[in-house]
């Protein structure tokens, strides 16, 4: 959702911000699923890269692969930035 005045989010209502956030998260999820299906190796590399690249103080991103088993998540020996 693009702001009419091209100002950051100053003129957007809270409802518009929530809608835009939901749309963005849906896009990111579907885009990630597509990349994972088309090129799993690229998806894993991008996942690791993105997990370490938030640049927002106090925010940590944990990208979850819904296809991984819970036992994979508990394997602390082989964790990387995205696990």
Question: Taking 70 as the threshold, does the pLDDT of residue 6 lie above it?
Answer: no
- The string of DSSP codes covering 15-69 is HHHHHHHHHHHHHHHHHHHHHHHH-HHHHHHHHHHHHT----TT-------TTS-
- In tens, the pLDDT along 7-66 reads 566 789 999 999 999 999 999 889 989 999 999 999 988 888 877 777 788 877 776 777
pTM of this structure: 0.56
Q: Determine how many CB atoms are found less than 10 A away from the CB of residue 10.
A: 7
Encoding tokens for residue 78? 């082989």
pLDDT for the residue numbered 79: 47
Calpha distance 67→17 (Å, rounded): 30
- The SS3 call for residue 75 is coil
Q: Where are the domains of the chain?
A: 14-78
């Amino acid at each position: 959702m693009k702001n009419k005045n091209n100002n950051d989010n100053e003129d957007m209502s809270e409802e518009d911000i929530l809608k835009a956030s939901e749309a963005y998260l849906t896009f990111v999820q579907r885009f990630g699923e597509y990349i994972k299906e088309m090129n799993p190796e690229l998806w894993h590399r991008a996942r690791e890269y993105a997990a370490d690249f938030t640049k927002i103080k106090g925010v940590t991103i944990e990208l979850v692969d819904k296809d991984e088993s819970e036992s994979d998540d508990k394997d602390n020996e082989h964790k990387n930035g995205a696990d």
